[in-house]
Amino acid sequence: MLSISAGAFLQRLRTAFPDREFIMRSQGQVRFIRISSRSQKIAAGVAVCVLGAWCASVGALALSQVSTGTAQAALAGREAKVARAEHSVEQYRENIDTVASDLARRQKFIEQMVDAHISDLPESTEAAQPEAADETGAKVKKISALMPEAGALARIEAAQIAMVDRLTRYADTRSRAASDAIRSLGLNPNAIRTSARTAEGGPLVKLVTSGDGSVDPRFRRMGQSLARMGALENGLASIPQVSPAHVAYVSSSYGYRSDPFTGSAAFHAGLDFPGPMGSPIYAAAKGRVTFVGQKSGYGNCVEVSHGNGLMTRYGHLSGFRAHVGQKVDAGALIAAMGSTGRSTGSHLHFEVRVNDRPVNPRPFLEAAQTAQSNLQNNNQPQKERS
């Protein structure tokens, strides 16, 4: 096969470069110039070599330019770091009082963020990023060497930046844990965060880190991470996770069943928890009571909205222990068990609805309890878990 291909190639080569004769007329004389096939092949080979050498030189030039651009970018990055350090030194030199005021504003920013989003400051988190730590350390040394009287302020600033870095990564770690827990329940963490911002308001209380009213990007990033952590964990806490009645078993599950009155096939949109008349009924998650009264088929009924399209419904009640607009925590007493409405005996009919569509409460409750347990373990201080 290879010999046939080689032969065909040689045949095509000979066909492409046949012996050629050119007729030249000059001053009444006719000359015949013959160019052999071999000469044509040599000339073509030389032309290919020249073209290849030209392409190689162009490629080498392009590669050199790319390497030069990369080196220049790296040099520009180093120059930017030096410029930042020199700018910081210049700020310290111009007005130490202004620097001290900015450090006080930064400290207030950190304290407000911790008070708003973290009850207990983490004692141990991941170490600071090496590059950031090196840059901050170099700046402290330079300021201390040039202006010994400003060394203490520079060390305070370095400690603040290190704390901001720790808090940002701590918040990101907790956000990932909450996201994983919410995702394990079949919900979208991004939808939880989005819906948490549907209604906002209040007086403007600005947070700044500099006298000119600006916010250092590192502090802004920390605030955003803490806010995201708070929204996700609040969303997780609003997911049904507490059994609404302390009973030994469920008398009727979610889905297909024979209707207790007609015996025909029917769809049951919740779980039935049987128990003595007047037994306490608890909110399955924190939320706000949005309905207290009677509904067709449910009898006396309470509905609690948990945000993000989640709502729990409690039916066949004998009494109410909550009112519309009341905010309740998970496990809060909201009603008493009964047999009102379309009921054959004392029990609680419990529903979980997402965007007003019923879903099976059983896996919801089971998965939420596991997710909450895992999240609490992840958020415990290191020394408590060791």
Spell out the per-residue pLDDT of the chain, length 386, in tens: 545 566 666 666 666 666 666 555 665 565 656 666 676 677 777 777 777 777 777 777 777 666 655 655 555 555 555 455 556 666 655 666 677 777 788 788 777 777 777 766 666 555 555 555 555 655 556 555 555 555 667 777 778 888 888 888 888 988 898 888 888 777 778 776 544 445 555 565 566 667 677 778 888 888 888 888 888 888 887 888 788 998 888 888 888 888 888 888 989 999 999 999 999 999 999 999 999 999 999 999 999 999 888 899 999 999 999 999 999 998 999 999 999 999 999 999 999 998 899 988 887 777 655 555 555 565 554 444 44
Give the model's pLDDT for residue 271: 93
Q: Are 106 and 206 in contact (CB under 8 A)?
A: no
> What DSSP string describes 119-131?
SS--S--PPPPHH
3-class secondary structure per residue, 295-307: ECCCEEEEEEEEE
β 280-282/333-337 pair status: antiparallel
Q: State the amino acid at position 109 in one-letter form.
A: F
Q: What is the pTM of this model?
A: 0.56
Q: Are 237 and 371 in contact (CB under 8 A)?
A: no
Q: Are 244 and 189 in contact (CB under 8 A)?
A: no
Give the model's pLDDT for residue 386: 40
The owner of tokens 């080196």 is 71
| Cα torsion 153, 157, 162, 167: sign | positive
User: Cα 28 to the chain's mean position, in Å?
Assistant: 89
Q: Which residues contact 11 (CB under 8 A, 6 or more apart)?
A: none
Nearest-angstrom CA–CA distance, 180 and 273: 30
Give the model's pLDDT for residue 88: 61
Q: State the amino acid at position 275 in one-letter form.
A: G
Give the model's pLDDT for residue 332: 94
Give the model's pLDDT for residue 53: 77
> What DSSP string describes 223-256?
HHHHHHHHHHHHHHHTS--S-SS--S--SB-SEE
